[in-house]
Amino acid sequence: MDPTGLGVLVVGLVLCLAGGRSVDLALLASGFAVGWLLTEPYDASFGTAVLVGVAVAAGSWLLARVVFKVALLAIGGLAGAVVGAKIFGLLQPVDRSVLLVLLFVAATAVIGALVTRRFRRTAPAAVCALAGAALTLSGLARTFPAALDFLRQPLPGWQVAVTAVVWVVLAAAGWAVQRRPRRPVRARGA
């Protein structure tokens, strides 16, 4: 077991299970996830991945706070970028082009932003669940590399298929948890 993946695993689970309920939480977790997942195809060290993740999280949170009117657009864009980074990793396991990954991630960020803006009630939970599930898989792979490394960088074939299925199932579970109605808080003694 490699403990360096535990933090990423926790951030991924928080984003997957609760990201659609808090704007700040979604911004920070999605920003971190974008930075982290962009470093994965290039086998960046743990320190580099954390540094890039924290920098992107801080920058995205600051940008969204300055332009708060478009916070939902920013959340959708960031979560869309995370989804794009994971899809790119699944579809392009070999011969990665930096330009191609940046174009692909930017395109999915725009799609995520537009979908979130159009479907305000349901889309934030869905894109945060997809993004959180993607980061959770990377955290699991880093924490348990001997058994689950294929979740981070799957080889073509069965590994891509299994990773995609696990990602979708985990995202569906996260979406279901976020869509559950909240129970009212009861006062003590009542």
CB 128 within 8 A of CB 79: yes
Output the DSSP codes for 37-83: HHHGGGT--HHHHHHHHHHHHHHHHHHHHHTGGGHHHHHHHHHHHHH
d(CA 129, CA 123): 10
For residue 189, the model assigns a pLDDT of: 58
d(CA 64, CA 165): 32
Q: Is residue 14 included in any domain, yes or no?
A: yes
Number of domains in the chain: 1
For residue 58, the model assigns a pLDDT of: 93
Q: Is residue 189 included in any domain, yes or no?
A: no
Q: Is residue 89 included in any domain, yes or no?
A: yes
Q: Is residue 74 included in any domain, yes or no?
A: yes
Q: Is residue 64 included in any domain, yes or no?
A: yes
For residue 51, the model assigns a pLDDT of: 93
Contacting residues for 86 by C-beta, under 8 A, at least 6 apart: 37, 134, 137, 167
For residue 2, the model assigns a pLDDT of: 65
What tokens were used for 155?
């080889």
pLDDT mean across residues, the chain: 83
Q: Taking 60 as the threshold, does the pLDDT of residue 187 lie above it? A: no
Residue-wise pLDDT tens digits, 41-90? 777 888 898 899 999 999 988 887 777 667 778 888 988 998 898 888 88
Residue given tokens 């003694």 in the structure block:
189
In terms of phi and psi (left: phi > 0; alpha: psi -120 to 50; beta: otherwise), the region of 154 is beta
For residue 183, the model assigns a pLDDT of: 67
d(CA 176, CA 162): 21
Q: Is residue 186 included in any domain, yes or no?
A: no
Domain coverage including residue 173:
3-179
